[in-house]
Amino acid sequence: MDSLIKKIHQAHQECSDCPSPKVVQQFFEELLGLLFPEYAVQKVKSQEEVSARLILLKETLSAILTRNRHLHQGEGGELASRFFSGLEQVFDWVNQDVDAMFAGDPAAKSRTEILRSYPGFYAIAAYRIAHLLHQLGVKLIPRMITELAHSRTGIDIHPGATIGQYFCIDHGTGVVIGETTIIGNHVKIYQGVTLGALSVDKADADLKRHPTIEDNVVIYAGATILGGKTIIGKNSVIGGNVWLTKSVPPGSKVYYQTQMYHEEGAVTDLYVFKQEFDEMG
């Protein structure tokens, strides 16, 4: 027991000061509830109340950042001000994401249904808030926010990823979007999609390791797309369970074609690549 006590004490001494997950979670969920009343414990009654709550949340973030100077290079109050200056764009973009999910899912009966129950909304909202902090150079806290969403939804989006407007995640469980992924506008992905990295050395951590997905791409369930040089051209469709480590041009369709075969036959599943050019191409 003495040995265990010593080890625990040493771990506590070596642990860097940082906000607890509960503190970060409370800040995020209070902010989410203010931005989207479907998540609020109580709706606000006036514009003055909105202003007062924004000021309070700004003070909360400032205090978190001030107490944890090792997580950023700036001054806590200034970073908090810059974060809240950028919050309107986050609000607008998340609403666009909700529009994309509503338009892209025939089962969705209303925007309220998406806001209250869709894991894709929660994960994307967490990502966009965390990404704003990430852009300001804040360390760890953005990852804590996206990992909260990961634990609740099964959707893992690194706050360093770059994601455009009108982003739709349908179902969502098992989605992985890596740190250097770039996603364009009007992209839709389904459950189990991985936008990941090929195995690289730790020394290459600062290089682009994850794929680029251009505008108007649909990626179906279970597809895996890997590599920093891999580009999925605009207006492409990537079928379910496809494995890609090379780029495909715009207007492509990539999918697996499953065939029946007799036990004495030699026919197996086929990998099919189909490229469609528009009339101007």
Question: Digits of tens for pLDDT over the chain (281 positions)?
Answer: 888 888 888 888 877 677 888 999 999 999 999 999 998 888 899 999 999 999 999 999 999 998 888 778 888 899 999 999 999 999 999 999 999 999 999 999 999 999 999 999 999 999 999 999 999 999 999 999 999 999 999 999 999 999 999 999 999 999 999 999 999 999 999 999 999 999 766 666 678 999 999 999 999 999 999 999 999 999 999 999 999 999 999 999 998 876 656 566 555 555 555 555 444 44
Cβ neighbours for 157, distance < 8 A, ≥ 6 positions apart: 123, 124, 126, 127, 146, 149, 150, 163, 175, 177
Domain 161-281 has CATH 2.160.10.10: yes
Backbone angles phi, psi at 101, to 5 degrees: -70, -40
pTM (predicted TM-score): 0.87
Q: Which residue has the tokens 């800040």?
A: 27
Residue 181: closest CA among 225, 246, 143, 235 = 225
CB hemisphere CA count around 9 (13 angstroms): 6
Tokens of residue 270, six digits: 């086929």
CATH 2.160.10.10 segments of the chain: 161-281
Domain 16-154 has CATH 1.10.3130.10: yes
Residue 192: closest CA among 174, 208, 178, 205 = 174
Q: Are 165 and 186 in contact (CB under 8 A)?
A: yes
